[in-house]
Amino acid sequence: MTTSSRAGGSLEAKMTQAEIRALEHAGRSSMAWPNEGYDEPSHANDVFRALIPAAFILAAAAALMVALF
């Protein structure tokens, strides 16, 4: 083996420490980190209350389609 093949060859681009650090920081800053705790009230009750009329609307639409066909 020659020294150029062991070192990766002269055609391969080598990243500097600054480039590696910049890529690592760019990846971390674009990630969304969750908060440690969720202090806001849950909205599950609101979702369930909205699903009740939606279910009735879908049932009425299905009944109308069955009646028409």
In a domain, 69, yes or no: yes
Predicted confidence (pLDDT) per residue in 13-69, tens digit = 787 888 888 877 776 655 666 656 666 777 889 999 999 999 999 999 999 999 998
Polymer length in residues for the chain: 69
Give the sign of the dihedral formed by CA 19, CA 21, CA 22, CA 23.
Answer: positive
What pLDDT score does 31 carry?
60
In a domain, 5, yes or no: no
In a domain, 58, yes or no: yes
In a domain, 54, yes or no: yes
What pLDDT score does 67 carry?
96
Residue 50 domain boundaries: 45-69
In a domain, 19, yes or no: no
Structurally, the chain folds into a number of domains equal to: 1
> Can you give the C-alpha Rg of the chain in angstroms?
30
For the whole model, what pTM was predicted?
Answer: 0.40
What pLDDT score does 69 carry?
85
